[in-house]
């Protein structure tokens, strides 16, 4: 499995997963994969209140696990997933801490691993029956749009002008910059916002705004590097998170919080399925026998990372986009990328720099990213030709979307209730299948790839 055929292809000739270029070029490609995954992989832990340094390190570890489980047949990088961001916001809004967050996500990872096991032995066709594109698109949409209050209430108010300018730059970079640069728009926007905040501190002084740690506005610098100066250059991720929980911690389990994250599993099933199909199309190979392995590997990786306080993982479209641009599909490059990520995770000073990201910068990035997550649901509908002239799709999904996005609550007992994403997802699935097949053909859309290499090169999770 670790013997790659060394090739020196002509320009434009593809390099297969079982092949590799000379090690010098392979290392260069691995570094390119690190840059591609970098921005989103540490932005999402920040917005979930987890440690970005630990997330970077586990992204490398989990990528190795993914490659091993898939027998080096499916080239892919596992970065931080956004599928649970809205669920994490809901958990924290209900008083849960980081241990509750990672405990719920760990269960979600185990469920995803079990789904992968079933797919491996039963085939992927049953996924499309239970979760057709109409349902999957609705769930992804309500996950993304459910995050709107998080931007409006937490990040944007910290520095609205920095947030607005950063958001404008990210939109410009993602669309107008050429090729590879557009794929790392999140990373570029973070650097831009960081520099802009530093200039604003120098020109205008400190700002008076509300921080996530308190309800009252306080005077503070946009950038504080006190933690950076105190951090070591080499060491394991350590310290405490914003809610007082240790960076490396064991999970805590709550049925209520677990139900909040299960909709994210549906999004990950669709995402992994689409990414495997996209890689298969790019490499001109049949990867269906590895579909269950890929889904299960992502579940195992998410559960493992969460067991130590890390962030959930998913296959990254950014890195699939890099392969599309370079036509190098060698899994050797991904092992290099994983090694670099692990080394970065072992540099606490790097993590302290990331943790010092100004709130206004996160506000600008998340206002675009969260909207993009929601619109991926619409993208799934469009690509799969979901017909909203059919009342099965129109009426069957309507109640779940409003319940999920609007935060509707269904009180079942004095101690247990369903609300937001959890309730919305249940209503979408139950109502859709309650009426599916009773109003003519075409409900749910056609079963097609949910991702395409020519479009999946943008920073969408």
Q: How far, in Å, CA of 103 to CA of 110, rounded?
A: 11
The pLDDT assigned to 441 comes to 47
Q: What tens digit of pLDDT does each residue of 187-212 get?
A: 788 889 989 999 998 888 888 776 66
DSSP code string of 406-460: HT-EEE-SSS-EEEHHHHHHHHHHHHHHHHTTSS-S-TT-----S--TTTTTSS-
Q: Are 188 and 168 in contact (CB under 8 A)?
A: no
Residue 261 neighbours by CB distance under 10 Å: 27
> What average pLDDT does this structure show over 211-233?
74
Check the CA dihedral 177-183-186-192 and report its sign.
negative
Mean pLDDT computed over every residue of the chain: 84
How far is C-alpha 5 from the geometric centre of its chain's CA atoms? 32
At 448, is the pLDDT very low, low, confident or very high (cuts 50, 70, 90)?
very low
The pLDDT assigned to 86 comes to 82
* The two structure tokens encoding residue 297: 């590997």
* The two structure tokens encoding residue 83: 């599928």
Residue 449 has pLDDT above 70, yes or no: no
Which of 14-28, 64-78, 121-135, 159-173 shows the lowest mean pLDDT across its residues?
121-135
The pLDDT assigned to 258 comes to 92
Instruction: Please classify residue 136 by burial: count the beta carbons closer than 10 Å to its beta carbon, then call 0-12 exposed, 13-18 middle and 19+ buried.
Output: buried
The pLDDT assigned to 383 comes to 86
Tell me the pTM: 0.76
**Strand-pair category, 5-6 with 19-20:** parallel
Q: Are 323 and 329 in contact (CB under 8 A)?
A: yes
At 444, is the pLDDT very low, low, confident or very high (cuts 50, 70, 90)?
low
Query: What phi and psi, each to the nearest 5 degrees, are found at residue 296?
Result: -65, -40
The pLDDT assigned to 399 comes to 92
* The two structure tokens encoding residue 171: 């939109």
* The two structure tokens encoding residue 371: 């909207």
Which of 178-187, 365-374, 378-387 shows the lowest mean pLDDT across its residues?
178-187
Which of 85-89, 229-233, 440-444 shows the lowest mean pLDDT across its residues?
440-444
Residue 331's nearest CA partner among 117, 15, 72 is 72
Q: Which residues contact 49 (CB under 8 A, 6 or more apart)?
A: 88, 92, 98, 101, 241, 242, 243
Query: What phi and psi, each to the nearest 5 degrees, are found at residue 247?
Result: -55, -50
Say whether 235 sits in a helix, a strand or coil: coil
Q: How far, in Å, CA of 289 to CA of 451, rounded?
A: 18
Residue 141 has pLDDT above 80, yes or no: yes
Q: Are 334 and 350 in contact (CB under 8 A)?
A: no
Residue 186 has pLDDT above 50, yes or no: yes
At 336, is the pLDDT very low, low, confident or very high (cuts 50, 70, 90)?
very high
Q: Are 45 and 226 in contact (CB under 8 A)?
A: no
Most confident of 28-32, 49-53, 178-182, 296-300: 296-300
Q: How far, in Å, CA of 207 to CA of 222, rounded?
A: 7
The long-range contacts involving 283-288, CB below 8 angstroms and separated by at least 24 positions, are 283/14, 283/16, 283/17, 283/75, 283/329, 285/73, 287/73, 287/74, 288/124
């Amino acid at each position: 499995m670790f013997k790659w055929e060394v090739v020196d292809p002509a320009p434009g000739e593809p390099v297969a997963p079982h092949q590799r270029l000379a090690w010098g070029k392979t290392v260069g490609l691995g570094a390119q994969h690190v840059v591609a995954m970098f921005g989103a992989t540490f932005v999402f832990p920040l917005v979930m209140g987890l440690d970005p340094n630990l997330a970077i390190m586990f992204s490398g570890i989990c990528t190795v696990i993914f490659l091993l489980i898939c027998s080096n047949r499916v080239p892919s990088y596992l970065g931080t997933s956004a599928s649970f961001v809205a669920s994490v916001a809901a958990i924290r809004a209900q008083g849960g801490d980081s241990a509750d967050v990672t405990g719920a996500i760990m269960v979600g990872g185990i469920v995803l691993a079990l789904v992968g096991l079933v797919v491996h032995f039963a085939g992927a066709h049953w996924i499309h029956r239970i979760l057709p594109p109409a349902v999957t698109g609705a769930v992804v949409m309500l996950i993304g749009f459910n995050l709107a209050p998080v931007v409006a209430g937490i990040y944007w108010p910290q520095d609205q002008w920095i947030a607005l300018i950063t958001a404008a730059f990210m939109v410009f970079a993602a669309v107008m910059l050429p090729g590879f640069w557009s794929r790392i728009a999140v990373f570029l926007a973070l650097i831009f916002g960081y520099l802009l905040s530093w200039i604003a501190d120098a020109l205008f002084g400190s700002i008076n705004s509300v921080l996530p740690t308190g309800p009252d506005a306080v005077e503070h610098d946009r950038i504080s590097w006190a933690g950076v100066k105190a951090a070591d250059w080499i060491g394991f991720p350590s310290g405490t998170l914003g809610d007082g929980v240790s960076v490396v911690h064991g999970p805590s389990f709550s049925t209520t919080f677990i139900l909040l994250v299960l909709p994210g599993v549906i999004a990950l099933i669709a995402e992994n399925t689409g990414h495997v199909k996209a890689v298969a199309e790019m490499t001109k190979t049949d990867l269906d026998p590895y579909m269950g392995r890929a889904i299960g590997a992502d579940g195992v990786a998410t559960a493992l990372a969460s067991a130590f306080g890390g962030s959930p993982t998913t296959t990254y479209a950014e890195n699939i986009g890099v392969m599309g641009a370079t036509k190098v599909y060698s899994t050797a490059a991904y092992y290099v990328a994983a090694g670099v990520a692990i080394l970065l995770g072992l540099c606490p000073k790097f993590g302290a720099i990331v943790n010092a990201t100004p709130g206004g910068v996160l506000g600008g990035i998340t206002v675009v990213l969260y909207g993009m997550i929601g619109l991926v649901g619409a993208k799934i509908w469009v690509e799969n030709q979901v017909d909203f002239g059919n009342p099965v799709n129109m009426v069957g999904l309507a109640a779940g979307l409003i319940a999920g996005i609007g935060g509707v609550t269904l009180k079942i007992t004095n101690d247990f209730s369903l609300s937001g994403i959890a309730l919305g997802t249940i209503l979408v699935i139950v109502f859709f299948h309650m009426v599916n097949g009773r109003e003519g053909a075409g409900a749910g859309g056609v079963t097609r790839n949910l991702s395409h290499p020519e479009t999946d090169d943008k920073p969408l999770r």
